[in-house]
Amino acid sequence: MRVTKLVLSSCLALSPMVFTSAASAISLEESVAFAIDYSPEVLAQYSRYQSVIRDGDAAGGDRLPQVNLYAAAGVEETRYNNGNFIDPDDRRLNRTELGLRVSQLLFDGFGTSANVKRLGYEAEAERLTLISRAENVSLDVTRLYLELLEAETLLQLANRNVIEHQEIYQDVLDKKSQGLASNSDLAQISARVATAQSSQIAAQNNLFDLQTQFLRQVGKPGSNLVFPKFDSALLPSTLDVALQQAVDNHPEIKAAMVDMDAARQEIRREKGDYYPEVKIELHANKNRNVGNVIGPDEDMRAWWCLITIFSMASLLTPELSLPHGGLKKHER
């Protein structure tokens, strides 16, 4: 999945492990990849990241020309206020309208550019948050993976302990039958066998619990695990270096800093409403039988520029929003 490609390299670059694999075994690297692919938190954050990217693409559309086409058709009749027709022949006209409007924004107080930059910063913050979510999942899976390996080792030791105590119990039982051991010796070893079996059951239950957690988080059974090899060369040389790297590379810290940049652009966007808006508009219309007048309809703009059968006008339109109750001031 794309989300795995986006965050897995960042997560694994911070891990001081060298991963090995074997036939029909699942490595730590594969476990982390599966967990990131199917983590609800990571997938939800990835969706938020994609949503902000789409918002940024939509905001950039304000820089492009806006084209509007409209058409209308129907029957027109014109009457006086008393209900009588203006035309003595009770004339009804077949009215048609066809129009085209093209506008290009030239200046809006830098509001559009600020909004595009704001959404760009927000997308970067969501991306860093996505990496943080994936790193948290990676750490949880790594901890669970190592705990599973430890639990398997403890269960093996518990099984061996039970076998050894059962062998000792059999030796004591044989000696007792020969009169070389007492009942107290047999009772003592029986208690030790029971304790070993109790530890075996506890180790088995702990392994089952961890395997259930692993299956829920990774989506794969926690068996045939491969012990990762630790590479100490990837560790920082000193504690101070480690702390500095943590501060410099922590995705949540970076996301907070980018959020501040987004807030600055939002303030800049709101300030844009104090400036006039300038755009170029091109109108073209073809109407017929409008206003109880038979034939094509022409307005004053047709005198400015006439192209074929369309009346056209090119206008430079500045607009300025006056202060209204201090709304923009409070929004900023």
List the pLDDT tens digit at each of the 332 positions of the chain.
555 555 554 554 444 444 444 445 889 999 999 999 989 999 999 999 999 999 999 998 888 888 888 888 888 776 656 555 556 555 677 888 888 888 888 888 888 999 999 999 999 999 999 999 999 999 999 999 999 999 999 999 999 999 999 999 999 998 888 888 788 888 999 999 999 999 999 999 999 999 999 999 998 998 889 988 877 888 888 999 999 998 999 999 999 999 999 999 999 998 888 888 888 888 888 888 776 677 677 553 433 333 333 334 444 444 444 444 444 454 45
- Indicate the length of the chain as a whole number: 332
- Whole-angstrom CA distances from 255 to 109, 118, 132, 259, 298 are 28, 13, 9, 6, 58
Contact (Cβ atoms closer than 8 angstroms) between residue 282 and residue 312 = yes
Report the predicted TM-score, pTM, of the whole model to 2 decimal places.
0.71
Distance CA 323, CA 332 (A): 13
pLDDT of residue 6: 53
The contacts of residue 14 (CB under 8 Å, 6+ apart) are 135, 249
Contact (Cβ atoms closer than 8 angstroms) between residue 184 and residue 172 = no
Both tokens of 281, joined, read 């508009």
Q: Which of 278, 279, 276, 280 is nearest to 322 (CA)?
A: 276
Q: Which of 223, 215, 166 is nearest to 195 (CA)?
A: 166
H or E element, residue 232: none
Contact (Cβ atoms closer than 8 angstroms) between residue 22 and residue 226 = yes
3-state SS of 206-235 is HHHHHHHHHHHHHCCCCCCECCCEECHHHC
Distance CA 157, CA 202 (A): 12
Distance CA 302, CA 245 (A): 69
Instruction: Give exposure, 260-297, as e/b (b: 16+ Cβ within 10 Å).
Output: ebbeebbebbbbbbeeebbbeebbbbbbbbbebeeeeb
Which amino acid would we find at residue 19? F
pLDDT of residue 95: 82
Distance CA 9, CA 88 (A): 83
The contacts of residue 11 (CB under 8 Å, 6+ apart) are 32, 36, 131, 134, 135, 138
pLDDT of residue 331: 45
Residue matched to tokens 């694994």: 12
Q: Phi, psi (5° rounding) for residue 312?
A: -130, 150
pLDDT of residue 216: 92
pLDDT of residue 17: 45
**CATH architecture of structural domain 28-225+246-307:** Up-down Bundle (1.20)
The separation between the first and the last C-alpha atoms of the chain, rounded to the nearest angstrom, is: 40
Q: Could you count the other beta carbons within 10 Å of the beta carbon of residue 313?
A: 17
- Helix pair angle (111-177, 40-60), 10° resolution: 170
| DSSP symbol at 1 | -
